[in-house]
């Protein structure tokens, strides 16, 4: 299983986009030191290329190093160097370590795969959703939520309050949890309020999430008691390959859903290499979703994704049943 978005992208390549017996032509940087973001002449290892592959890096060819795309301007086959325009097609020129892989005319650039992963994660909601439980200290009135991504919270699923039943004999043995009613309200972003010390505080969210500040109110719970509220939450859009699946809100079982959607999105409306089409067909057949023609690969991928989503939704609903809502209050 993947641990971050970069791992998930690698898995998409490994299981769908890059057959092991037909990899994209590649070489590696042979600079002797790192390639800076401003260098426009790249030295590569010519021993890894056939003459035909090396000649393919002539003017106009797109090459890729990590997530950066570059356009070749001229090729020097004597010195194994190519002059390039850095950071083309919406990518950013960046530093690359010596020995980094350089792909020649990649059919599925890594930046495209990253963007498709982001699209698929956003599209999971509202069919699927992330879940987060927060510990809140009850008090009179609304309690602003100030976590880094609390504006992604959508609705309470359940809430329990912790209190001590002194009739049971002692504080330690008398801890009891009971369900309570909670309400989540949307506040303007930014939101300014006065805290319990009389100090003015402002909450502002500038991320890609909903343009709001959330606050929660609990009912029939004495001030100072701890309330554990489980929220339904939108998935957080990744901003880097190092973002963990936990941070985004993805469970490990959602990985195949994302991967199938990414593959379908990237092959839509375009010709793909025969080897890639055969490879995806084989992968779908293993999952009992046979493809009877190459033109139906995308539809089969989407059908496979829908089946995975339906199962994940059933599992999610079994763990987190919809709360009863009365007068805008949620009763878990």
Residues 74 and 100 in one domain: yes
Three-class SS state of 203: strand
Identify which has the larger pLDDT, 197 or 291: 197
290 beta partners: none
Which of 214, 234, 254 is the C-terminal boundary of a domain?
234
Q: By three-state DSSP, how is residue 301 classified?
A: helix
Q: Considering Cα of 241, then 244, then 249, then 255, what sign does the dihedral take?
A: positive
**Choice among 46-50, 115-119, 194-198, 260-264 with the minimum mean pLDDT:** 194-198
208 or 101, which is more confident: 101
**pLDDT at residue 167 greater than cutoff 80:** no
Pairing status of strand 81-85 against strand 200-203: unpaired
Residue 1 and residue 4: Cα distance in Å, rounded? 9
Domain termination residue (choose one: 202, 234, 266): 234
CA–CA distances in Å: residue 146 to residues 54, 152, 191, 243, 330? 55, 11, 10, 21, 21
Residue 188 lies in a domain: yes
User: Per-residue pLDDT averaged across 121-146, rounded?
Assistant: 93
* Residue 275: predicted pLDDT: 67
Does the residue 325 lie in any domain?
Answer: no
| Whether residue 156 is found in the same domain as residue 205 | yes
Whether residue 226 sits in one domain with residue 243:
no
209 part of a folded domain: yes
pLDDT grade, residue 238 (50/70/90)?
very high
Q: How far is CA 202 from CA 219, 259, 311, in A?
A: 25, 40, 42
User: Domain check: are 178 and 261 in the same one?
Assistant: no
**One domain for residues 71 and 134:** no
User: What pLDDT was estimated at residue 294?
Assistant: 47
Domain that holds residue 33: 25-106
**What's the confidence (pLDDT) of residue 268?**
80
Pairwise CA distance, residues 302 & 291, whole Å: 12
Give me the DSSP letters along 16-64: II--TTSPPPEEEB--SSPBPTT--EEEB-GGGS-HHHHHTTSTT-EEE
Chain segment 280-293, per-residue pLDDT in tens: 777 777 676 666 55
Mean pLDDT of 227-243: 95
The stretch 92-111 carries a mean pLDDT of 96
Same domain, 187 and 157: yes
Q: Which of 50, 74, 106 is the last residue of a domain?
A: 106
What are the residues whose beta carbons fall under 8 Å from the beta carbon of 152, sequence distance 6 or more? 130, 209, 210, 233, 234, 235, 236, 249
* pLDDT of residue 326 exceeding 80: no
Statement to judge: residues 86 and 222 lie in one domain: no
Instruction: Report the pLDDT averaged over residues 177-201.
Output: 89
Residue 196 lies in a domain: yes
Lowest mean pLDDT among 82-86, 176-180, 292-296: 292-296
pLDDT at 325: 64
Nearest Cα residue to 41 out of 97, 69, 79, 2:
79
- What mean pLDDT comes out for the span 298-313? 91
pLDDT in tens, 135-166: 999 888 889 999 999 999 999 999 998 765 55
Angle between the N-to-C axes of helices 274-286 and 297-319, in degrees from 0 to 180, rounded to the nearest 10: 40
Is residue 148, in this structure, part of any structural domain at all? yes
Q: Which helix (H) or strand (E) holds 310?
A: helix 297-319
4: in domain: no
Q: How confident is the model at residue 296 (pLDDT cuts 50, 70, 90)?
A: confident
When the pLDDT of each residue in the chain is averaged and rounded to a whole number, the result is 88
The share of the chain scoring above pLDDT 90, in percent, equals 66
Based on the domain organization, do 146 and 291 belong to the same domain?
no
Asked whether residue 328 is domain-assigned, the answer is no
- Whether residue 96 sits in one domain with residue 43: yes
Helix (H, G, I), strand (E, B) or coil at 232: strand
Q: How confident is the model at residue 233 (pLDDT cuts 50, 70, 90)?
A: very high
**Pair 243, 230 in one domain:** no
What is residue 329's predicted lDDT score, i.e. its pLDDT? 57
Q: What is the CATH number of the domain that holds 97?
A: 2.40.33
Whole-angstrom CA distances from 241 to 36, 182, 247, 265 are 20, 36, 12, 19
Do the Cβ atoms of 157 and 131 come closer than 8 Å?
yes
What domain count does the chain have?
Answer: 3
Q: Residues 6 or more apart from 312 whose CB is under 8 A from it? A: 128, 253, 254, 257
* Residues 82 and 120 grouped into a single domain: no
Instruction: Report yes or no on 9 lying in a domain.
Output: no
Asked whether residue 134 falls in the same domain as residue 230, the answer is yes
0.75 cut: is pTM over it?
A: yes
Other Cβ atoms less than 10 A from the Cβ of 10: the count is 16
pLDDT tens digit string along 59-86? 999 999 999 999 999 999 999 999 999 9
* Contact (CB, 8 A) for 131 and 211: no
Give me the half-sphere count of Cα atoms (radius 13 Å) on the Cβ side of residue 47.
1
């Amino acid at each position: 299983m993947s641990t971050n978005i970069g791992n998930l992208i690698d898995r998409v390549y490994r299981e769908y986009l890059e057959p092991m017996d037909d990899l994209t032509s590649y070489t590696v940087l042979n600079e002797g030191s790192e390639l800076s973001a401003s260098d426009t002449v790249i030295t590569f290892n010519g021993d890894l290329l056939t003459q035909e592959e090396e000649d393919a890096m002539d003017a106009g060819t797109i090459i890729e190093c990590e997530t950066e795309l570059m356009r070749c301007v001229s090729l020097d086959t004597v010195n194994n160097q190519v002059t390039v325009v850095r950071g083309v097609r919406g990518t950013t020129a960046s530093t690359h370590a010596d020995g980094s892989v350089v792909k020649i005319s990649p059919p599925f650039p890594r930046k495209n795969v990253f963007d498709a992963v982001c699209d698929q994660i956003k599209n999971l909601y509202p069919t699927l959703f992330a879940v987060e439980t927060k510990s809140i200290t009850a008090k009179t009135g609304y309690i602003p939520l100030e976590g880094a991504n609390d504006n992604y919270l959508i609705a309470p699923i359940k809430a329990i309050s912790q209190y001590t039943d002194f009739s049971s004999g002692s504080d330690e043995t008398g801890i009891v949890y009971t369900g309570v009613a909670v309400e989540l309200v949307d506040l303007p972003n930014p939101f300014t309020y006065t805290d319990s010390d009389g100090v003015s505080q402002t909450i502002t969210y500038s991320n890609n999430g909903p343009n709001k500040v959330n606050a929660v109110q609990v009912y029939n719970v004495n001030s100072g008691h701890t309330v554990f509220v489980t929220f339904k939450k939108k998935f957080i859009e990744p901003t880097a390959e190092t973002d963990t699946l936990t941070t985004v809100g993805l469970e490990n079982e959602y990985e195949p859903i994302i991967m199938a959607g990414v593959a379908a999105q990237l092959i839509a409306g375009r010709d793909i290499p025969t080897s890639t089409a055969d490879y995806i067909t084989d992968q779908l057949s293993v999952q009992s979703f046979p493809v009877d023609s190459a033109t139906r690969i995308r539809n089969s991928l989407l059908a496979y994704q829908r089946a995975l989503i339906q199962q994940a939704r059933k599992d999610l609903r079994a763990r987190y049943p919809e709360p009863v809502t009365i007068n805008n209050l949620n009763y878990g």
